[in-house]
């Protein structure tokens, strides 16, 4: 059993972060906010895929004003990402944004910090402090050690605390897995503010997915992390998919539909393409059962195995599955028990019909 660290809870609109709130998934838009219609469409697409908070980069007060058109048109809370200029943060808060990412130490002017804090307090908007190894002040912290990242984060935290502001979320990221893990461990030992975890500049594709899974998964297994972002070059939709898989893997979310398949080996029926069949099953099962599973609040576990020697046995936990026999024949099984032999072209339909008996 993981023991999740107890953190304070803050709220970004309808989303609770920290405390006993579920660990949330967030991402960031990848197009300039000035393309308002496309931004709205992208946010809604991300929300549909499971994003629970979406961050948008703002580069000017004018761009912050565009939030007035975007916020009413989207289904998730938004976080404004701002660097240095507190006027943009004020404009975003006034426009109704639900969370702001800005480092108070970078604003420079204490009066500006106070104005942002007052506006955030007034609207119940939390502030996220984000420290990255790449943007750390190297004159002050030449070694950029994990303790330096934490010290830098705490400097920003204290500025907000000195202004009697505690609705804070902190992220400490690096592109190095061990540095990210160690820094977050140190911060969690020192503070009870909720933390946003992830790797920064994690790359693209499989490399990013694996590295993010190791870093985020490791921290979550240690009980550290209240909200996650997988930073992946490319379509932010992929970030959501990877983040979901990480949360499912550590037991934070139940997979609605889990299609498992064997790696195949010399016993696999040479006439059977297990990868192709697994994809076909995944798609068919998702189309047919996703809605009903959501309504019933239960998951479905389906197996596609290359042979009947080990297949049904190895996949005995599955609700139902298919295992190759030979000559294009497959064994349909349910709960580890043989049901009947089916031909390859009827296999998916037979599997769907067998699963229907579960409902």
**Residue 342 interacting with ligand SF4 (CB under 6 A):** no
What are the tokens at 11? Answer: 């709220």
Site for ligand SF4 (CB under 6 A): how many residues? 13
In 118-256, where do the E strands start and end? Answer: 127-132, 168-173, 195-197, 227-228
**Residue showing tokens 């349910």:** 334
CA angle (53, 56, 61) in 5-degree steps = 135
Q: Please, which residue, 34 or 317, has the CB nearer to ligand SF4?
A: 317
Contact predicate 150/172, CB 8 Å: yes
User: Which residue of the chain is nearest ligand SF4 when measured via CB?
Assistant: 306
Chain residues 216-245 in contact with ligand SF4, contact rule CB under 6 A: none
**Residue 1 interacting with ligand SF4 (CB under 6 A):** no
Q: Looking at 44, 137, 310, 344, which residue binds ligand SF4 (CB under 6 A)?
A: 310
Q: Looking at 91, 246, 262, 281, which residue binds ligand SF4 (CB under 6 A)?
A: 262
75-83, 204-212, 220-228, 299-307 -> range binding ligand SF4 (CB under 6 A): 299-307
**Residue showing tokens 């297994």:** 221
**Residue showing tokens 């004159």:** 139
| Least Cβ distance, residue 317 to ligand SF4 (angstroms) | 14
CA atoms of 206 and 123, how far apart (whole Å): 40
**Residue 270 interacting with ligand SF4 (CB under 6 A):** no
Contact predicate 7/194, CB 8 Å: yes
DSSP string covering 101-141: E--HHHH--HHHHHHHHHHHHHHT--EEEEEEGGGS-TTT-
Chain residues 52-71 in contact with ligand SF4, contact rule CB under 6 A: none
121-129, 194-202, 292-300, 305-313 -> range binding ligand SF4 (CB under 6 A): 305-313
| Least Cβ distance, residue 313 to ligand SF4 (angstroms) | 9
| Least Cβ distance, residue 160 to ligand SF4 (angstroms) | 54
What are the tokens at 196? Answer: 């946003």
Q: Looking at 90, 306, 321, 332, which residue binds ligand SF4 (CB under 6 A)?
A: 306
Query: Rule CB under 6 A: which residues touch ligand SF4?
Result: 262-265, 267-268, 305-307, 309-311, 314
């Amino acid at each position: 059993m993981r023991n999740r660290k107890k953190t304070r809870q803050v709220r970004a609109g309808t989303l609770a972060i920290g405390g006993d709130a579920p660990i949330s998934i967030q991402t960031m838009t990848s197009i300039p906010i000035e393309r308002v219609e496309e931004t709205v469409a992208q946010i809604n697409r991300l929300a549909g895929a499971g994003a629970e908070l979406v961050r948008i980069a703002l580069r000017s007060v004018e761009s912050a004003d565009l939030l007035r058109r975007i916020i009413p048109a989207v289904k998730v809370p938004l976080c404004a990402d701002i660097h240095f200029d507190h006027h943009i943060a004020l404009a975003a808060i006034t426009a109704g944004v639900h969370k702001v990412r800005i480092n108070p130490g970078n604003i420079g002017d204490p009066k500006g910090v106070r104005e942002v804090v007052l506006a955030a307090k007034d609207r119940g908007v939390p502030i996220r402090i984000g420290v990255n190894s790449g943007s750390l002040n190297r004159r002050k912290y030449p070694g950029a050690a994990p303790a330096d990242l934490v010290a830098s984060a705490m400097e920003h935290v204290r500025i907000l605390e000195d202004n009697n502001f505690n609705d804070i979320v902190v992220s400490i990221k690096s592109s190095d897995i061990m540095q990210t893990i160690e820094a977050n461990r140190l911060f969690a030992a020192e503070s009870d503010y909720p933390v946003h975890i992830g790797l920064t500049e994690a790359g693209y594709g499989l490399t990013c997915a694996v590295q993010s899974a190791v870093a985020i998964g490791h921290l979550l297994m240690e009980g550290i992390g209240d909200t996650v972002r997988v930073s992946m070059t490319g379509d932010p939709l992929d970030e959501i998919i990877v983040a979901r898989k990480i949360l499912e893997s550590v037991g934070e979310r139940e997979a609605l539909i889990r299609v498992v398949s064997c790696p195949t080996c010399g016993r696999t029926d040479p006439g059977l393409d297990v990868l192709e069949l697994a994809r076909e099953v995944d798609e068919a099962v998702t189309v047919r059962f996703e809605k009903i599973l959501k309504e019933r609040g239960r998951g479905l576990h389906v197996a596609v195995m290359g042979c009947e020697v080990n297949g049904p046995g190895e996949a005995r936990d599955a609700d139902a599955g298919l295992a190759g026999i030979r000559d294009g024949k497959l064994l349909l099984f349910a709960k580890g028990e043989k049901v009947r032999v089916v031909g390859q072209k009827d296999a998916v339909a037979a599997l769907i019909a067998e699963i229907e008996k579960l409902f």
